Amino acid sequence: MSVFLKNRPVLIVCIILMLLLVCSCNVPNPVPTVTQTPDWTSTPISPSATPTQRPTATATPVPEYLTVPSEDLAGTKLILRSSLYGAEQKKLEELVSLFNKENEKGISVQSIYADNMDELGSFTSKDSTGKTDLIIADSSWLRRQNVYGKALMDLSPFMNLPELSLTGDDNIPLMDVMLETENQNEAYYALPLWADPAFLFYNKTWAIELGYSDNPSGLASFAEQACAAGKANYTDKDDSKHGTGGWIVSSAPKDVLSWMLIFTQKGENPGELIRSQNGDVFIDTASWLRNLFDNGCAWNSRVKEPYDYFANRYALFYSGTYSDAKRQYNAFEQSEEHGFDNWDLIVYPSRESGEKQNPRIAADMVSIAVPESEDARKLNAAWHFIRWLYQGEHAAELALAANGWPVQDSDAITTLYRKSGEDKLYQTLSYRQYLVSNDADENWLTDQLILADGFNYIFNPSAKPENIPEIWDQIRDIITEINDVNHPSSQAGDDNQNEIHADGAG
Domain closes at, from 431, 454, 469? 431
CATH number at residue 352: 3.40.190.10
State what percent of residues in the chain have pLDDT above 90.
Answer: 67
Which of the residue ranges 159-173, 181-195, 399-413 would you say has the lowest mean pLDDT? 159-173
How much is the average pLDDT of 432-443? 86
Question: Do 350 and 374 belong together in one domain?
Answer: no
Q: The dihedral of CA 378, 381, 387, 392: what is its sign?
A: negative
Asked if the structure places residue 273 within a domain, the reply is yes
Place 501 in a pLDDT band, splitting at 50, 70 and 90: very low
Question: Do 353 and 247 belong together in one domain?
Answer: yes
Helix, strand or coil, per DSSP, at residue 157: helix
Question: Do 249 and 207 belong together in one domain?
Answer: yes
How much is the average pLDDT of 445-450? 91
201-258 pLDDT per residue, tens = 999 999 999 999 999 989 999 999 999 999 999 999 999 999 999 999 999 999 999 9
Residue 162 burial class via C-beta count within 10 angstroms: exposed 0-12, middle 13-18, buried 19 and up: exposed
Residue 93's identity, in one-letter code, is: E
Place 118 in a pLDDT band, splitting at 50, 70 and 90: low
Question: Do 80 and 178 belong together in one domain?
Answer: yes
Count of domains for the chain: 2
Asked if the structure places residue 245 within a domain, the reply is yes
- Can you give the pLDDT at residue 383? 97
C-beta of residue 10 within 8 angstroms of C-beta of residue 482: yes
C-beta of residue 289 within 8 angstroms of C-beta of residue 227: no
Residue 212 burial class via C-beta count within 10 angstroms: exposed 0-12, middle 13-18, buried 19 and up: middle
Please provide residue 290's backbone torsions phi and psi, each rounded to the nearest 5 degrees: -65, -35
3-23 pLDDT per residue, tens = 454 544 444 344 334 433 333
How much is the average pLDDT of 137-166? 89
- Can you give the pLDDT at residue 9? 44
Return d(Cα 403, Cα 292) in angstroms, integer: 31
Question: Do 375 and 236 belong together in one domain?
Answer: no
Question: Do 72 and 208 belong together in one domain?
Answer: no
Asked if the structure places residue 498 within a domain, the reply is no
How much is the average pLDDT of 84-104? 96
Question: Do 321 and 341 belong together in one domain?
Answer: yes
What lies within 8 Å, CB to CB, of 63 at 6+ separation is: 157, 376
Which of the residue ranges 55-59, 287-291, 302-306, 312-316 would you say has the lowest mean pLDDT? 55-59
Asked if the structure places residue 502 within a domain, the reply is no
Question: Do 310 and 454 belong together in one domain?
Answer: yes
Question: Do 188 and 278 belong together in one domain?
Answer: no
Question: Do 324 and 406 belong together in one domain?
Answer: no
Residue 17 host element (H or E): helix 9-21
Asked if the structure places residue 35 within a domain, the reply is no
325-383 pLDDT per residue, tens = 999 999 999 999 999 999 999 999 988 766 567 889 999 999 999 999 999 999 999 99
Asked if the structure places residue 284 within a domain, the reply is yes
- Can you give the pLDDT at residue 487? 61
Q: How far is CA 502 from CA 81, 137, 242, 270, in A?
A: 17, 18, 53, 29
Place 78 in a pLDDT band, splitting at 50, 70 and 90: very high
Q: Which domain holds residue 172?
A: 65-196+364-431
What lies within 8 Å, CB to CB, of 443 at 6+ separation is: 274, 479, 482, 483, 486, 487
Average pLDDT, the chain: 84
More confident residue, 271 or 386: 386
Place 486 in a pLDDT band, splitting at 50, 70 and 90: low
471-481 pLDDT per residue, tens = 999 999 999 99
- Can you give the pLDDT at residue 55? 53
C-beta of residue 201 within 8 angstroms of C-beta of residue 320: yes
Residue 456 host element (H or E): helix 444-457
More confident residue, 500 or 153: 153
Asked if the structure places residue 38 within a domain, the reply is no
- Can you give the pLDDT at residue 124? 52
- Can you give the pLDDT at residue 242? 95
* H helices present in 107-203, as ranges: 117-121, 139-144, 156-160, 176-179
- Can you give the pLDDT at residue 150? 79
Asked if the structure places residue 417 within a domain, the reply is yes
Instruction: State yes or no: pLDDT of 308 exceeds 60.
Output: yes
- Can you give the pLDDT at residue 394? 97
Question: Do 346 and 369 belong together in one domain?
Answer: no
Instruction: State yes or no: pLDDT of 506 exceeds 50.
Output: no
State the DSSP string of 19-36. Answer: HHH------PPPPP-PPP
Which of the residue ranges 85-89, 204-208, 494-498 would you say has the lowest mean pLDDT? 494-498
More confident residue, 439 or 467: 467
Question: Do 166 and 192 belong together in one domain?
Answer: yes
How much is the average pLDDT of 49-65? 62
Return d(Cα 8, Cα 466) in angstroms, integer: 24
What lies within 8 Å, CB to CB, of 475 at 6+ separation is: 279, 282, 450, 451, 454
C-beta of residue 407 within 8 angstroms of C-beta of residue 175: yes
Q: How many CB atoms lie within 10 A of CB 506?
A: 21
Return d(Cα 432, Cα 197) in angstroms, integer: 9
How much is the average pLDDT of 72-77? 96
Residue 380 host element (H or E): helix 376-389
- Whether the pTM exceeds 0.75: the reply is yes
The Cβ-side half-sphere exposure at 285, using a 13 Å CA radius, reads 27
